[in-house]
Amino acid sequence: MSLNESLHVFTAENWEADVLGAEGTVLVDFWADWCPPCRKLSPLVDELAEEFAGRVKVGKLDVDGSPDVASRYGITSIPSLLVFRDGKVVAQRVGALPREELRGWLDAHACAVTTAAR
């Protein structure tokens, strides 16, 4: 499931169930391993997964491994962060953000995640 207890790995195969079918808020980091800003943002996303556990389902989607999913949401620049609530995009940011700015942005969109959705 994850790189740590709270961080999810999203793919084209689990997208429908784990993101669109999730109850509550889901943060998806669209990234690639060859992208320097993605690598800079990655540890922060890992931290947010732990910090927001139970409030936001946090995960990453490798755009090279799931290009159709990235294309479906118009992802042309990475890192791109999308917040989904009940299967719909409610917010989007592009680029590596400072820690406190990202934390505040995610907090503004957070809501409880049910145990079944985690």
Candidates 27, 35, 56, 69; catalytic one: 35
C-alpha–C-alpha distance, residues 52 and 107, integer Å = 8
Locus of tokens 């509550």: 24
- Among residues 22, 38, 81, 113, the one annotated as catalytic is 38
35 assigned to active site: yes
Note the helical H segments in the chain: 15, 36-51, 67-72, 99-109
Residues 4 and 89: their CA atoms lie apart, in Å, by 25
* 38 catalytic per annotation: yes
Q: How many CB atoms lie within 10 A of CB 21?
A: 13
So which residues are the catalytic ones?
35, 38
